[in-house]
Structure 1
Amino acid sequence: MKKLILSDRVKMKRTPLKWVVLLIPMVVLAYEIVNFSYRSAYIKQQMNVFHADTMWSYLIWDNSFLLGLGVPLGITLAASIIANVEHQANSWKQTLSMPISRIQVYVSKFIWLFGSSIISALIFAISMVAIGKILNFESDIPWRDVWGDSLSVYLTAIPFMSVQLWISMLIKNQAFSITIGSVSTMMGLFMAMNQTTRWLPWAFPVQASTIMLGESGLTNNLELSAFLVLSFMQGFVILLAGAIHFAKKDVQ
């Protein structure tokens, strides 16, 4: 398995995957720097309206919408790139002729997708700290919320990763998987607004911030642990189903 992952590493060097990993953190970083620099008076007013204790709390909450949309889109592109390495080179038969199981091949691709997402989350956490330093936030850095907020949105997107990888691996035309991912991302936003559909996996990322807007203002997201547990469970089931399907399907 280790050799397979290292083999995929060589293939990924020739792809734009590293730029996708950087894309979401850099876009959010640029937006927040502009937002806090040029709308500081409005932000202070909003902080009073939402009863935000610190600038950090408001920043973390403000990121939630952008991440809820951006992370699934980034995962969609990453899954497409990882699968398209084999599709574009027409190398599935060669890859699957090796003395390894198809499930191992599939899991290796998922490890790359999950690993690239975690790297993106770490970059985003560092970017959050950089924003606070650049904008001279007065309060201490809430490390638990910063790291938690950065990782949780990606961890709650595990079912989404599993679905997108499944589609990308089985269908050669990546325009299809990218369209499905984009539509699913937008659907997740609307699902999160309904008390029933908000518990479906597509709605998890947009609700995964450590800070949420409650009736009395910004507060800790007490439902985050439930979203994480459901994400791990659903993600594992979908990943297993996708791997088994891939193992049985004729791949051109």
Structure 2
Amino acid sequence: MKEILRADQLKLKRSSILIIVLLIPILILTYELVNFTYRAELVDKQAELFHAGSMWMYLLYDNSLLFGLGFPLAATLAASIIANIEHQADGWKQLLAFPVSRSKVYLSKFIWLTMSLLISLTIFLIGMILLGKALEFEESVPLGLLAGDSYGMLIATLPFTAFQLWLSMTIKNQAFPILIGAICTIMGLFLAAVQMTRWFPLAYPIQSSTVILQYEGIGYNTDLPVYLAINLMLGIALLCMGVIHFVKRDNQ
């Protein structure tokens, strides 16, 4: 397994996955910096209107929608890049001609996809802390909430990530998996907006922030543990299904 992971690492060094890893957190943090700097009065009024306990909580609430849309798209593109390395020049035939376990090949791709997304989330976490310091938020850094918003997103999107990797590794034309990922991301936005459909797993990334806007204002998201538990189980199930399907397939 170590050899397969090392081989995939060498392949990814020549890919554009680092751009995807950096792009989403940088874009969101840049938006928030501009928003809190040039619309400071409006931001203060909204934070007061929504009864935010601190500017940190308002920051978490404000970027939850963008992050809930942006991170699944990052997972879609990252999965496509990882799979497309093998699709190019019929790499699957060459790879699977070696005496290696197909399940290990698949799991190696998933591990590197997860690690890439973890790097993106870590950059986002560090960026939020630095942003709050730069904006001189008076309250102490709520590290637990910030970490929950960042790393909780990985679990909230786990079924989506596993499904996108499955699609990307199964279909050679990567335009189709990317299109499906974009459609599912937009669907999640609309599903999260309706009370009857907000419990669909596609709607979870939009609602996976540690804070949420309630009737009385911005408060803690008590549904988050349920979202994470459901998506963890569903993500593991989809990963297992993807592995089984990949092992039973004929050579690409």
TM-score range (shorter-chain normalised) is over 0.9
1:81 is matched with which residue? 81
Instruction: Report the alpha carbon displacement of residue 205 of structure 1 after superposing the two structures with TM.
Output: 0.6
- Using the size of structure 1 for normalisation, the TM-score is 0.98
User: CA–CA distance in 2 between the matches of 1:199 and 1:99?
Assistant: 43
Q: Distance in 1 between matches of 2:4 and 2:18?
A: 19
Q: Does 1:54 align with 2:54?
A: yes
Q: Tell me, what secondary structure is at the counterpart of 1:199? A: coil
Which AA in structure 2 matches 1:78?
A
The answer as to 2:18 corresponding to 1:18 is: yes
Matched residues in 2 for 1:78 and 1:120: separation?
Answer: 11
Percent identical pairs in the alignment equals: 50
- 1:141-160, aligned counterparts within 5 Å? 141-160=141-160
Q: Superposition RMSD on alpha carbons, in Å? A: 0.9
Asked if 2 retains the 8 angstrom alpha-carbon contact of 1:192 and 1:198, the reply is: yes
DSSP 3-state at the match of 1:91 = helix
TM-score by length of 2: 0.98
The structural deviation recorded for 1:200 is 2.0
Tell me which residue corresponds to 1:191: 191
Deviations 1:46-85, CA, capped at 9 Å, x for gaps: 0111001111010011110001100010000000000000
Aligned partners of 1:153 and 1:206 also within 8 Å: no
Q: Which residue of 1 aligns with 2:232?
A: 232
CA shift for structure 1 position 201: 1.8
Spell out, residue by residue over 1:87-110, the C-alpha distance to the aligned partner (whole angstroms, 9 max, x if none).
Answer: 013110111122221111111111
Partner Cα distance (1:89, 1:154) in 2: 31
The unaligned stretches of length 5 or more in structure 2 are none
Give the match for residue 177 of structure 1.
177
Aligned residues: 252
Q: Structure 2 CA distance, aligned partners of 1:96 and 1:200?
A: 37
- Residues 106-149 of structure 1 show CA distances to partners (whole Å, capped at 9, x for unaligned) of 11111111111111111100000111111111111111011111
Q: Deviations over 1:176-235 (max 9, x none)?
A: 010000000000111112233222221111000001011100000111111111111000
Following superposition, the deviation at residue 239 of structure 1 comes to 0.7
| Residue 40 (structure 2) aligns with | 40
Offset of residue 251 of structure 1: 3.2
Structure-1 separation of matches of 2:233 and 2:100:
26
Stretches of structure 1 lacking an aligned partner (at least 5 in a row): none
Q: Please list, as runs of the form range in 1=range in 2, the aligned pairs for 1:87-236 lying within 5 A after superposition.
A: 87-236=87-236
2: distance between equivalents of 1:208 and 1:221?
8
Residue matched to 2:2: 2
